[in-house]
Amino acid sequence: MAKATFGAGCFWGVEAAFRQIAGVKQTAVGYSGGQTKNPTYEQVCTDRTGHAEVVEVEYDPEQVSYDRLLEVFWANHDPTQLNRQGPDHGSQYRSAIFYHTPEQQAAAEASKKALNESGKLRRPIVTLIEPAREFYRAEEYHQQYLEKRGQSSCHI
């Protein structure tokens, strides 16, 4: 098994998208990239902890490639919006890839470059690519939030 961590705005819809991918064994929503230890949702929403809302994906690399996960990441948010997605704004909603290995870093940088150069987007990508940091699992009511409510996607 391998791990991948992505921040793409509100974590509910992002988690739902990754859960649909064959080879993804488990997902968890949470917070990463900040300085506060064990932050709560309320703390992260203040935009003062430095954390991004993220999805941690546990996947079988023999069934799904990291490149495929990157495709899902890019397709499920607007990576040209700085610190916002749709009506949600603040650094907690930033677009970020938190890599766990040098190979993930190289793949993330290559896919960002290719998408930037593809002409598919009107503005440059602002997605941050950073080493994975401590992951703090969000409160249980956030886990598989849309699935629990019989929804398949968010407003974004």
Q: Give SS3 for 131.
A: strand
CB 98 within 8 A of CB 5: yes
In the annotation, is 10 catalytic? Answer: yes
Given its phi and psi angles, is residue 136 left (phi above 0), alpha (psi -120 to 50 degrees) or beta?
A: beta
Which of 138-142's residues contact partners 24+ apart within 8 Å by CB, and which partners? 138/11, 138/28, 138/29, 138/30, 138/31, 138/41, 138/53, 139/40, 139/41, 142/11, 142/12, 142/29, 142/41
Catalytic residue among 4, 7, 9, 10: 10
Catalytic residue positions, numbered: 10
